[in-house]
Structure 1
């Protein structure tokens, strides 16, 4: 199979960047890359993540449109047009066989420029609700890769759509059980619930968890509570020391390389971002989702509904989240091994453990056409 020169672009949030990184990692594992270039913005999260991974990185200056008509949007249009010009220069110098965009406004210019230069193009949509950039690019690209079947309705170009799943799923699927829970003063052999509100943490989830400590201390399972770095100091102040010193509870600001501990978790409680769902379903872990109501088009709720409707997860809307509702849902699952096993099976049924390879096939088919 021919080795490819590939340009990858995506940014703004980890949900756009981590699937791209997982794809690059798998391409390298299969020795399918001749060279790879990542195009992002200097201010975006991708700048740090991609550079730290040792991947060649170039930037363009671009920003998203305001939702209201403003004079500021004229500047945004100017930046978009000039970024197309810079993207063309980057593409002509690098000479890629294919260009893939994983979302975020930065990839709009890069993928559109590649289309104008007659380079094969693909976009990857991670969520049930497509982003503005991907909806725009869908008219021009050769293929649209999706991670949720519900996303089909987001695009009019049905013939271009291929269901691949999220490459992040394949990155975690082979992780084996380990004793890493010991690092957090927990019993590696005891059933564990992880409560995690995302990398920045989530105040409502943290508050409900704090108010449930008196029940967790007496449970026959243990709780790994990850607050997010921003909230950690305040959370610690609000928790009675008897709970902090309990062998049943561990409170942390953040966990590096979190996927490593997922095989040791019986139940995950948290947000329903696309990357989290890809990881959870690849491993078949039961989940309780508390979607963020603050994301664009409420896509986390739609993501969570996609998983909960098949019985792989429970859904608690944030406005209905209380210590009582949180504990009830956790306890109902953790006290019944049959429920756990059923949810795990349902989760694996919708997981896509070969997602990166599926996306790679889309790329190689276009390159070899």
Structure 2
């Protein structure tokens, strides 16, 4: 089976794609892959690092206001469709899967025009422009949130979950703790603002460091590499409490999450898939700078079911952060209630569901 995968721009589109590819490789030994992305996107590094054949097209996103740049985008889209058709024909693609980002537009559209089975995967509770556009042309639409179904043609939508969620299962949480200097006995809180970090979260943590140092729990605080040196300077002035471990980045996040009792984070789709799969309570501080404010809507999909506490960035302070951590972590009944609620929302067999959807589609066409 020849499988083309396309997704780019951010890790939220790329990591689910890579997780799905790994799952397909386990199940279909003769599967061949081609990943189509952009050279400027993160996918050009992450996909190549996984030794997956990679080709690129040039495409940009539409501006939401009237702009001359949109005329150029249309031209790039048409050229991208032409280039994609050539790649798909040469590769003899049996199916094309788009996991989001601008690059999926011309690739998946080209596949639909060539009569190749197509699937798009929407990670967020509110879809972006590209997936809304493609929903008219694809065969199936895989979603991660029930809330996303309303935006797509009912007959095409299937709730599969996020393939990335399957990869955090069966990890050694104690190993994860020890790898970053946490002990096995105390409750552990992970505070992370994403791979690049989040300045408002960093500011709240720095203002509450002395208070956190007096708590009966331990904290892994991941600053993001961009902010690490600046944070360390501030920490050197006030002192680093023994129960707070500060890192710029962690490469073994699945292991770390498995050893976490409570997570403070943004509300990206991949993060939420991992948290619900493991049944980890969370305090979610959605980024207000994303398209359609989708992170807040993602967060509400958990907080409305008592699996997370939603704190808007404008409400965040050092005092507020500590109060919310204490309310959850120091109340055993509350912590258990949130764990169970998170686990109920999790879809642990997401990779299997998406694989079966793809296989059914291909078998039906043959």
TM-score range relative to shorter protein: over 0.9
Deviation digits for residues 67-126 of structure 1 (CA, Å, limit 9, x no counterpart): 222222222111110110100000000111110101111011010000000000000000
CA distance in 2, matches of 1:321, 1:242: 21
Q: Quick one: distance in 1 between partners of 2:24 and 2:252?
A: 21
User: Is 1:304 paired with 2:314?
Assistant: no
Residues 25 and 31 in structure 2, CA contact (< 8 A), matched pair in contact too: no
Q: C-alpha distance in 2, partners of 1:79/1:189?
A: 56
- TM-score normalized by the length of structure 2: 0.97
Deviation for aligned residue 1:242: 6.2
Q: Match for residue 208 of structure 2? A: 212
Corresponding residue for residue 79 of structure 2: 82
Cα distance in 1 for residues equivalent to 2:31 and 2:190: 40
CA RMSD of aligned residues (A): 1.2
1:292 matched to 2:287: yes
Task: Determine which of 55, 58, 64 is the counterpart of 2:55.
Answer: 58
Determine the C-alpha separation between the residues in 2 that align with 1:232 and 1:243: 15
Mapped pair 1:361 → 2:356: yes
**Which of these residues, 38, 41, 56, is aligned with residue 41 of structure 1?**
38
Q: Secondary structure at the match of 1:239?
A: helix
Structure 1 Cα separation of the partners of residues 29 and 144 of structure 2:
22
Cα distance in 2 for residues equivalent to 1:292 and 1:239: 24
Is residue 188–residue 220 contact of structure 2 (8 Å, CA) maintained in 1?
yes
C-alpha offsets along residues 30-79 of structure 1, whole Å, 9 cap, x if unaligned? 23552011000111110000000100001111111122222222221111
Partners of 2:60 and 2:122 in 1: CA distance: 19
Question: Any idea what SS the aligned residue of 1:218 has?
Answer: coil
Q: How does 1:249-288 map to 2 (within 5 A)?
A: 249-288=244-283
Choose which of 335, 346, 349 in structure 1 pairs with 2:344: 349
Aligned residue number for residue 11 of structure 1: 8
Q: What is the CA distance between 1:240 and its match in structure 2?
A: 4.5
Partner of 1:181: 177
Q: 1:92 aligns with which of 63, 70, 89?
A: 89
Alpha-carbon distance, 1:241 to partner: 5.6
* Structure 2: distance between partners of 1:282 and 1:341: 15
| Structure 1 residue corresponding to 2:125, chosen from 124, 128, 138 | 128
* Contact preservation (8 Å) 1:179, 1:188: no
Aligned to 2:98: 101
Verify the 8 A CA contact 2:3 2:32 in the aligned structure 1: yes
2:25 counterpart SS class: helix
User: 2 CA distance for matches of 1:258 and 1:243?
Assistant: 26
Q: Deviations along 1:267-292, whole A, 9 cap, x unmatched?
A: 00010000000001000011000000
For the 8 Å contact 1:9–1:106, the answer to whether it is kept is yes
Per-residue Cα deviation, 1:309-364 (whole angstroms, up to 9, x for no partner) = 11111010000001111111001111112211111111110100000100111101
Deviation at 1:189?
2.5
Paired with 1:42 and 1:221, the residues of 2 have a C-alpha distance of 44
Deviation at 1:302, TM superposition (A): 0.3
Q: Which runs of 5+ in 2 are unaligned?
A: none
With structure 1 as the length reference, what TM-score do the two structures score? 0.96
Q: Which residue matches 2:231?
A: 235
How many residues matched? Answer: 364
Once residues 72 and 276 of structure 1 are traced to their aligned partners in structure 2, the CA distance between those partners, rounded to angstroms, is 33
Where structure 1 has 5 or more consecutive residues not aligned to the other structure, the ranges are none
Superposed CA offset, 1:223-270 (max 9, x none): 1111111111111111246642x3211111111121121111100001
- Secondary structure of residue in 2 paired with 1:85: helix
Decide which moves more: 180-189 or 58-67. Answer: 180-189
